[in-house]
C-alpha cells in the first residue's frame, strides 16, 4: 500500500524525513486544546476542592464526584464510541486513518477507565465502607476494562499489520456490543437480588455543585481530546516510519541485487 493513497491528517511541522526538522505531534490546534485542558483542570481543582460546598450527607467525600463521573463519562461514552466508529469505518473503507484513530481512542479510553475505577474505589471506601462492592456499575466497568485491555493486546501483536488491524476492528465492534451485554446482565443479576441500594449521590444537585460538575466534564473532555490527538499523531508518524523503513530496505536490497548479482544471495 502506498502512503500517498492514505487519507491521513494534515500535520504541520511534522514532515518526516526532512533533515533538520523537529518531528513533533503538536500544532496550533493542540496547543490551544492543551491550554483549555490545563485551565479547565485548574478551575476544576479550585472549584472542586475549595469553592464548592461539602455535601450534606457525604461531607468532603463528595468532591471526588467532580473528577470520577466526568472521567467515567469520557471513558465509557466517548472514547469507546470513537473506537467503535473507527473500527466500523476501517472495515468499510480499509483506511489506516480510521484504524489508528480507533486504537488511539481505545488506549486513552483504557487510561480513563482505569482512572474511573481508581477514583471510584477511593470514593467507595469512605462512602460504602469498602473499596469494592458488587454494584452493577462497578462490576460491568471492571469487565469492560479487561475487555479493552484485550483489545490493546491485539493491537500490539506481531503479525501482518493489515490483518492485525482487521482483527482489532472486529474486536472493537463486538467488544462494544459486549460491554452493553455485560452491563445489562449484571444489572439484571443484582436487580434480582436487591433493589438499587447504592445511590452514590442524590440526583438533586444544583447550584455550585452542578457547575463544578459541568466544569469537570469540560476539563476531562478537553484532556481526552488533547491526549487523543497527540496519541493519534504519534501512531500516524510511527506508521509512516514503518512504511518508509520498508521502502528503504527494499531499495537497498534491490541495489544490492543489481550490483552483486542475485545468484550469491542464496535462498
Partner 1 sequence: MLRDAGLVALKDLRIEWTSRILTAQVLPFGLLVLILFGFGISPERIVQGRDRRTVLEDVSPALFWLAVLFSSLLALGRAFAIEAEDGNLDALQLAGLDPAGVFLGKMLAISAELVVLELVIGGGALLLYGATIEHPLLLVAVLVATTFALSAAGTLYAALGAGIRVRDTLVPLLVLPVLAPVLLGATRATESALYGSASDGWPWAGFLGAFALLYLGAGILFFGSLLEES
Binding to partner 1 (CB under 8 A) within 127-156 occurs at: 143-144, 146-147, 149-150, 153-154
Q: What is the number of other CB atoms lying within 10 angstroms of the CB of residue 2?
A: 7
Span from 20-28, 163-171, 194-202, 231-239 in contact with partner 1 (CB under 8 A): 163-171
- The residue from 56, 160, 194, 199 that contacts partner 1 (CB under 8 A) is 160
Span from 23-31, 54-62, 111-119, 170-178 in contact with partner 1 (CB under 8 A): 170-178
Distance CA 78, CA 66 (A): 17
- The residue from 185, 205, 218, 237 that contacts partner 1 (CB under 8 A) is 185
Q: Are 221 and 78 in contact (CB under 8 A)?
A: yes
Span from 31-39, 62-70, 178-186, 225-233 in contact with partner 1 (CB under 8 A): 178-186
| Smallest distance, partner 1 to C-beta of residue 211, A | 37
Binding to partner 1 (CB under 8 A) within 65-124 occurs at: 91
160: exposed, middle or buried (Cβ count in 10 Å: 0-12, 13-18, 19+):
exposed
- The residue from 163, 208, 210, 248 that contacts partner 1 (CB under 8 A) is 163
Q: Are 190 and 136 in contact (CB under 8 A)?
A: yes
Judged by beta carbon, residue 155 or residue 231, the one nearer partner 1 is 155
Containing 29, the helix (H) or strand (E) segment is: helix 28-46
Distance CA 149, CA 153 (A): 6
Q: What is the number of other CB atoms lying within 10 angstroms of the CB of residue 191?
A: 11
Span from 55-63, 188-196, 220-228, 236-244 in contact with partner 1 (CB under 8 A): 188-196
Apex 224 CA angle, 115 and 236, nearest 5: 115
Distance CA 191, CA 260 (A): 75
Residues that bind partner 1 (CB under 8 A): 91, 143-144, 146-147, 149-150, 153-154, 157-160, 162-163, 166-167, 169-171, 173-175, 177-178, 181-182, 184-186, 188-189, 192
Amino acid at each position: 500500500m502506498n502512503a500517498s493513497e492514505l487519507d491521513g491528517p494534515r500535520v504541520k511541522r511534522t514532515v518526516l524525513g526532512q533533515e533538520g526538522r523537529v518531528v513533533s505531534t503538536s500544532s496550533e490546534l493542540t496547543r490551544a486544546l492543551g491550554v483549555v485542558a490545563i485551565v479547565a483542570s485548574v478551575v476544576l481543582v479550585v472549584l472542586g476542592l475549595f469553592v464548592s460546598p461539602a455535601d450534606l450527607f457525604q461531607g468532603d467525600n463528595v468532591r471526588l464526584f467532580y473528577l470520577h463521573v466526568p472521567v467515567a463519562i469520557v471513558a465509557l461514552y466517548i472514547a469507546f464510541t470513537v473506537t467503535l466508529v473507527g473500527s466500523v469505518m476501517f472495515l468499510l473503507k480499509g483506511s489506516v486513518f480510521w484504524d489508528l484513530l480507533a486504537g488511539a481512542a481505545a488506549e486513552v479510553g483504557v487510561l480513563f477507565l482505569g482512572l474511573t475505577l481508581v477514583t471510584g474505589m477511593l470514593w467507595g471506601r469512605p462512602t460504602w465502607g469498602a473499596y469494592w462492592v458488587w454494584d452493577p456499575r462497578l462490576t460491568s466497568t471492571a469487565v469492560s476494562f479487561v475487555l479493552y485491555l484485550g483489545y490493546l493486546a491485539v493491537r500490539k501483536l506481531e503479525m501482518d499489520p493489515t490483518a492485525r488491524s482487521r482483527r482489532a476492528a472486529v474486536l472493537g465492534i463486538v467488544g462494544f456490543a459486549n460491554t452493553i451485554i455485560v452491563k445489562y446482565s449484571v444489572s439484571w443479576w443484582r436487580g434480582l437480588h436487591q433493589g438499587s441500594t447504592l445511590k452514590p449521590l442524590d440526583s438533586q444537585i444544583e447550584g455550585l455543585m452542578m457547575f463544578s460538575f459541568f466544569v469537570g466534564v469540560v476539563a476531562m473532555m478537553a484532556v481526552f481530546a488533547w491526549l487523543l490527538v497527540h496519541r493519534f499523531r504519534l501512531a500516524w508518524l510511527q506508521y509512516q516510519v514503518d512504511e518508509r523503513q520498508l521502502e528503504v530496505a527494499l531499495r537497498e536490497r534491490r541495489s544490492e541485487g543489481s550490483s552483486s548479482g542475485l545468484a550469491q544471495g542464496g535462498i
